[in-house]
Structure 1
Amino acid sequence: MSLTLLVVGAGPRTLGVLDRLSAHASASGAEVDVHVVDPHPAGAGRIWRADQHPLLWMNSRAADVTVLPDASSRLEGPVRTGPTLYAWLDAHRAELAQEFARAGQDALRREVLAVQEGTFVSRALGSRYLSWAWDRVVAGLPAGVRLTVHRTRVLDVRDALHGAGRQHVALEDGTTLDVDAVVLAQGHPDVVPGPREVAAREFADRHGLGYVAPGYTSDLGLTEDEVTLPPGRDVLVAGMGLAFVDLLVLLTQGRGGRFEETPDGPVYHPSGREPVLHVGSRRGVPYRSKITYQLTERPVLPRFLTEEALPSHSRLNLRRDVWPLVAKELAGAHYAELFRSHPERTALDAAEFDRRFAVAGWGSPDLDALVAQAVPAVQDRFDLHRLDRPLDGFRAPTGSAVHDRVRAHVADDVARRGDPGFSMDAAVFHALLSGYVTVAGLAHAGRLDDASVAEVDGWWHGLFSYVASGPPPRRLAELLALADAGVVRFLGGDVRFAPDEVGGCWTARSANSPDTVSATVLVDARLPQASVTASADPLLRHLTGRGELRELAGGKLVVDPEQRLVHADGTVHPRRFAVGPWVAGGGWAAAFARPGLDAGFFRLNDRVARAVLQLGTVSVVGPRAASSAPSRRTTGVR
């Protein structure tokens, strides 16, 4: 009853799997040697490492982040709960402040002293929580679990020539291992440039232009790079998501600009080192900002997106079979909250509205007529298309008019997302979160067809991120100040960024504007598109080359419902597992969990840990058992 396990990657997902493996091993007495391989620090990994610019923030409130189970977590075996990010920072505030002071890290010292439940902390400070959580999990490993951390990369994994099921592992530092199981949890592997990026680079080089390809903003060194992004130069920016927000911070405050607080909001004072950023995207607006208040009563979910409401056929199509139920779930939560908290803005008895709404089909004339009768004010009605595409159909006479329209949209969004008078938005957030988990569960269970699984990671994830996973409202208030200071100009939506061979420049033209904007620099402000076949990760390249991975449309790798790798020929490898954002149907891919919601993050970690232990013929425990006291462990670092 012994097992040797390789885990590729040392970020939050590995932390979670190790925690659940520890819990089951402590109850069963399993003997497990665990090898974790990652060149970046254990616990935080690459994306959440501490050595990032202190201006880069996490994208969730401190009280909404946890990597350890809580009382709501329904898991098999012992459950050892842990604090949220905020609870941990609050409990260790004084000692952390002293530590930062001794290290000369005054920005972190000030930050930890001021942090509150609703604070969006820096990634550098959040990294400390992840490191602490890793150390806590390691300290709780039972005597039979031995951990070795290798600060290098995995080059390849092959089926061993001798030994049933054994996996032969080659590390970049020359170490070789033979293991019984492998869990891939690399997080966000880099990809090699695709045809679009190669063509853009070649065009830029021919004409002496600047081009910044998609990448992780914190890794691009743009704060000090005044050659690629010169001060005062016009720069086209493709993308208005979270990568854009990071870019904005590094090129403004990161270059010495500052915000002055006024009763009307922040005012930006340039340093003179900023470029002029002309920004646009498909939607033409940034992600919706985070909501800054809490509902007094959460909607009952799910109500419409239930197993009973889904068609009975086994392979569902996301748009045809699932999306109408998702949309009705969102609208139902919106109107339930409107009638509950703002009845003075309705014109029909709440019970009658609810009865008629429940039987009306999504998008039907009956539903439209009901809403028109019951909700007099247009701004109180749920308009999913307008929520998703606020500039659709808008055409302005000038680019300046487009800029003004987008600025007004951002200002309205910031005000509305902080106003409990529109608490319907918070209800929609909870419904969208519930729907996201449900859709991810359908993908995970193999209920969706292949095209739909690709769309889970495409337009559905994009919509979710846009509505529910946007930046802190402070960042959008700063965006408004930057627009007023002339540092940012809004291009609008459905922007076509293109090379101009004749003019020797980059151009951008929006569907909302008649103007064409030219510049000598183009920034692709987005993360690299996931692509297993184009991965820069040597392990993924080798597995792909031998047909030992299957890539779905959209570039992500395919796993079965047990998270086991599916080969190109459709067979399943019984000893290789994968988790993370580059796995198809990645609704389970979040790096953290939201506390109090029995998060799928922990249930998935639990299933993977149990499946791994079963490979060693170790009997795992059944229903939840009492927590066992931490015991001795052995760790090592190569």
Structure 2
Amino acid sequence: MKVAIVGSGPRGLSILERMAARLAEHPVAEETVIYLIDSHRIGSGRVWRSDQPEWFLMNTVADEVSAFSGPPDGGPTRPGAGPSLAQWWSGLDPDYPGPNSYAPRALHGRYMHFILRTIEGNLPEGVRLVRVRGTVDDLARTDDGYRLVLREGAWLTADRVVLATGHTTPELTGTQRVLAAYAGRTPGLRHIAGDSAADMPLDDIPAGSSVGVLGLGLSFYDVMAALTEGRGGRYEEDGEGGLVYRPSGTEPVIVAGSRSSMPLPARGRNQKHHDHRYDHLLFTTERILAHSRHGEISFAEDAVPWLLAEVELVYYATTLISRHGPEHGPERAAAFRADVVAAARDGVPDVVALAAGYGLGDVPRIDLDAQARPFAGQHFEGPDDFEAALRSALARDLAHAEAGNVDDPLKAGLDVIRDSRAVIRSLVDFAGLTPASHREEFLGWYVPRSSFLAAGPPRTRLRQVAALLARGVLRVVGPDTRFRPDPESGRFAVHSPYVAESKVLVDTVVDARVPIPDVRLDPHPLTRRLRERGIWTSFVNHGADGDRFDTGGVAVTEAPFHPVGREGLPDEGLYVLGIPTEHTRWFMQGGSSRPGFWTDFVQNADAIAADVAAAARRPVVEVPDPEVPDVEAPAVVRVPAAGPRDLRVPTAPVAV
């Protein structure tokens, strides 16, 4: 049997790790060859490759990251039992900064390479791994499997194919297409499309020039680092908890903005154990389905009230502990939780009113809109006025973050959003919402806010923003930042309609937003050919009222995630996981699991691995050999009971 895994980033590697563990449980019926294919670095893929600069950081503490599906168990390191990123890092680096540190992405790439070597060294008898460096540009069905064609000229055949192809760069649309076209016909201007910052041509931006950066999320921090630390600048402690930036003189001037114009808030200082699990008291799948009308879920009406109640429950309970101290606080918080849960029997509880009964009437409630858009509705007299407001907002957020994700009421409450992803997936995946709710309430309203409030960077990033603002290397323009061509000047203009005199002219525009996956806009040859052949289709959420929402995600079955073709039938020899299925399912961009228990990340990988392993160990049956005469004890040929097998050798060599 031959299996091809296309893409060796976190998803592909997790599938391989679980496949190796599964295949070790039972002898395989025949030799099994696994091709691990990647166009960049085999074992880490493009985004996590180990040769990228050290200033690109993860946004999850090392102690909460593992690419093994089980923790060390006292035996040898092997598929199913191995160290977390923090454990591996601590044994590697004498200057290991501790479990709550944020590792460079390049370090995580080296960790992935360690895992790949571990898998290779522990493959069971009869299983062989072949590394293939190349780009798969075509995949087609054959009479007995699949044929994969590589851009480099080779081809190979497989019985099963797993597609875990990760991030792509879709075609430009809307404003970005206009800006790119303008740059293309105007000498001296540049437009850099959204991508991993490590792959952006940021080194081409001239020193001292002005560069407009669209977006203030996680990718913004990467771009900021590349244009400052990456240009030789450095930060020093100021002795008062802040940083001072010492420029190298080769930096450009960064002119940044977004809809909110608030840089993504920092993650709270981690106070939780790596295997911490939050047990929901209010926001559960069962409760929401029980209260939904006619089985159709409106995210805004049926899910959000319960989610906000859960967030407020943690927020006010943490406030009670803070106010009453360790002696009486936990007892008061426990009583408050019990009252809230009791009230939930009759519907969404009024958590704010119940909190007032515990003396918390003076505590402002959490408003997700206000948290995600802190400057909404405000007008500023000029750039200095807005920068003062921004500095105050940064200082407030850093104070909350330093207090910790357990002790600080705001950060503890907002962490519930992160801890609720699995519940949300159970409601949203595979058209769980009505088309209008999916499109407008979930993707249009909730997802941007949850991404802003629950996926922040390390605290040091906000300290760096403050230092760059003070040095004048960075300017944040203001709310609802607009980027447009300015033919009069022959440059780009950046301004905020809410900040007077905010217009700035720039020579480069960088889109520092993660591209939204959409198979309809993906120009990659493999995606195009899969769609042309009807092997991949775009998942459409059909409503009972005739409404429809074409999500742009690859249509797949539930686990083990076979693509659903043009005829509406699954292709059971193919599997698709991760980024290509975004919007069919939600939060497919997650890049790791947590040590100590199986998150959805590992469960998804194991579902595919289990299906492949079952095919590899099919029971054998005895059939008469047609070349041997029928006698009392006929000779037999041992073959798999079912399933195709391709023993042909490619005429063109596969690069290994």
2:149 alignment counterpart: 170
Q: Does residue 1:470 correspond to 2:470, yes or no?
A: no
Q: Deviations over 1:234-293 (max 9, x none)?
A: 332210011110111111121121212221221012222222222111121111112113
1:145 alignment counterpart: 127
Summarize the Cα distance change of 1:34–1:453 in structure 2 as closer, same or farther, 3 Å threshold: farther
Summarize the Cα distance change of 1:115–1:365 in structure 2 as closer, same or farther, 3 Å threshold: closer
Q: Deviations over 1:153-177 (max 9, x none)?
A: 11111111x23xx222212232222
Please give the alpha-carbon distance, in whole angstroms, between the structure 2 residues aligned to 1:317 and 1:195. Answer: 29
**Paired residues for 1:302-321 under 5 Å:** 302-312=280-290, 313-321=294-302
Q: Deviations over 1:295-321 (max 9, x none)?
A: 599785121122331234555333332
Summarize the Cα distance change of 1:194–1:453 in structure 2 as closer, same or farther, 3 Å threshold: same
Q: Deviations over 1:178-228 (max 9, x none)?
A: 222211111112323335433212212333333222222111131x32xxx
Q: Which moved more, 1:608-617 or 1:196-205?
A: 608-617
1:442 alignment counterpart: 427
Count of residue pairs brought into register by the alignment: 592
**Are the counterparts in 1 of residues 154 and 655 from structure 2 also a CA contact under 8 Å?**
no
Q: Match for 2:140 among 158, 161, 164?
A: 158
**Are the counterparts in 1 of residues 215 and 512 from structure 2 also a CA contact under 8 Å?**
yes
1:236 alignment counterpart: 212
RMSD, aligned α-carbons: 3.1
Q: Match for 1:506 among 455, 480, 492?
A: 492
Q: TM-score, normalised by structure 1?
A: 0.85
Please give the alpha-carbon distance, in whole angstroms, between the structure 2 residues aligned to 1:18 and 1:153. Answer: 19
Please give the alpha-carbon distance, in whole angstroms, between the structure 2 residues aligned to 1:462 and 1:414. Answer: 21
Please give the alpha-carbon distance, in whole angstroms, between the structure 2 residues aligned to 1:329 and 1:20. Answer: 34
Summarize the Cα distance change of 1:341–1:514 in structure 2 as closer, same or farther, 3 Å threshold: same
**Are the counterparts in 1 of residues 79 and 119 from structure 2 also a CA contact under 8 Å?**
no
Q: Deviations over 1:390-422 (max 9, x none)?
A: 122222222221121112111211121011495
Please give the alpha-carbon distance, in whole angstroms, between the structure 2 residues aligned to 1:281 and 1:458. Answer: 16
Q: Match for 1:428 among 391, 413, 423?
A: 413
Q: Which moved more, 1:133-142 or 1:209-218?
A: 209-218
Q: Match for 1:392 among 376, 383, 387?
A: 376
2:572 alignment counterpart: 574
Identity %: 29
Please give the alpha-carbon distance, in whole angstroms, between the structure 2 residues aligned to 1:262 and 1:391. Answer: 28
Summarize the Cα distance change of 1:541–1:361 in structure 2 as closer, same or farther, 3 Å threshold: farther
Q: Higher relative contact order at CA 8 Å, sep ≥6: structure 1 or structure 2?
A: 1
Deviation at 1:508, TM superposition (A): 2.8
1:623 alignment counterpart: none
* Structure 2 portions without partners, runs of 5+: 540-549, 620-653
Q: Helix, strand or coil: the match of 2:289? A: coil
1:266 alignment counterpart: 243
Q: Does residue 1:560 correspond to 2:560, yes or no?
A: no
**Paired residues for 1:169-568 under 5 Å:** 169-208=148-187, 209-222=189-202, 224-225=203-204, 229-264=205-240, 265-295=242-272, 300-312=278-290, 313-343=294-324, 350=333, 353-358=336-341, 359=343, 366-374=350-358, 376=360, 381-420=365-404, 422-444=407-429, 447-450=432-435, 459-521=445-507, 522-552=509-539, 553-562=550-559, 563-568=561-566
Q: Deviations over 1:95-136 (max 9, x none)?
A: xxxxxxxxxxxxxxxxxx243212212222222111001111
Please give the alpha-carbon distance, in whole angstroms, between the structure 1 residues aligned to 2:229 and 2:423. Answer: 40
Q: Helix, strand or coil: the match of 2:451? A: helix
Summarize the Cα distance change of 1:435–1:365 in structure 2 as closer, same or farther, 3 Å threshold: closer
Q: Does residue 1:118 correspond to 2:100, yes or no?
A: yes
Deviation at 1:637, TM superposition (A): 6.1
Deviation at 1:149, TM superposition (A): 1.4
Deviation at 1:462, TM superposition (A): 3.1
**Paired residues for 1:79-94 under 5 Å:** 80-93=80-93
Matching residue's letter, 1:434: D
Matching residue's letter, 2:264: Y
Deviation at 1:480, TM superposition (A): 0.4
Summarize the Cα distance change of 1:617–1:128 in structure 2 as closer, same or farther, 3 Å threshold: closer
Please give the alpha-carbon distance, in whole angstroms, between the structure 1 residues aligned to 2:575 and 2:185. Answer: 44
Summarize the Cα distance change of 1:55–1:67 in structure 2 as closer, same or farther, 3 Å threshold: same
Summarize the Cα distance change of 1:295–1:21 in structure 2 as closer, same or farther, 3 Å threshold: closer
Summarize the Cα distance change of 1:375–1:238 in structure 2 as closer, same or farther, 3 Å threshold: farther
Matching residue's letter, 1:482: L
Q: Does residue 1:11 correspond to 2:27, yes or no?
A: no
**Are the counterparts in 1 of residues 418 and 455 from structure 2 also a CA contact under 8 Å?**
no
Deviation at 1:465, TM superposition (A): 2.7
**Are the counterparts in 2 of residues 238 and 525 from structure 1 also a CA contact under 8 Å?**
yes
Please give the alpha-carbon distance, in whole angstroms, between the structure 2 residues aligned to 1:192 and 1:607. Answer: 32
Deviation at 1:543, TM superposition (A): 0.8
Please give the alpha-carbon distance, in whole angstroms, between the structure 2 residues aligned to 1:343 and 1:298. Answer: 25
Summarize the Cα distance change of 1:569–1:427 in structure 2 as closer, same or farther, 3 Å threshold: farther
Q: Helix, strand or coil: the match of 1:342? A: helix
Please give the alpha-carbon distance, in whole angstroms, between the structure 2 residues aligned to 1:262 and 1:194. Answer: 44
Please give the alpha-carbon distance, in whole angstroms, between the structure 2 residues aligned to 1:83 and 1:453. Answer: 38
Matching residue's letter, 1:177: L
Matching residue's letter, 2:305: P
Please give the alpha-carbon distance, in whole angstroms, between the structure 1 residues aligned to 2:169 and 2:362. Answer: 45
Deviation at 1:137, TM superposition (A): 1.4
Matching residue's letter, 2:504: S
**Are the counterparts in 2 of residues 17 and 605 from structure 1 also a CA contact under 8 Å?**
yes
Please give the alpha-carbon distance, in whole angstroms, between the structure 1 residues aligned to 2:491 and 2:478. Answer: 20
**Paired residues for 1:574-593 under 5 Å:** 574-584=572-582, 585-593=585-593
**Are the counterparts in 1 of residues 278 and 419 from structure 2 also a CA contact under 8 Å?**
no
Please give the alpha-carbon distance, in whole angstroms, between the structure 2 residues aligned to 1:239 and 1:28. Answer: 50
Please give the alpha-carbon distance, in whole angstroms, between the structure 1 residues aligned to 2:298 and 2:27. Answer: 44
Q: Helix, strand or coil: the match of 2:206? A: coil
2:637 alignment counterpart: none
Summarize the Cα distance change of 1:457–1:592 in structure 2 as closer, same or farther, 3 Å threshold: farther
Please give the alpha-carbon distance, in whole angstroms, between the structure 1 residues aligned to 2:512 and 2:267. Answer: 20
Deviation at 1:334, TM superposition (A): 1.8
Matching residue's letter, 2:340: F
Summarize the Cα distance change of 1:362–1:480 in structure 2 as closer, same or farther, 3 Å threshold: farther
Summarize the Cα distance change of 1:79–1:123 in structure 2 as closer, same or farther, 3 Å threshold: closer
Q: TM-score, normalised by structure 2?
A: 0.83
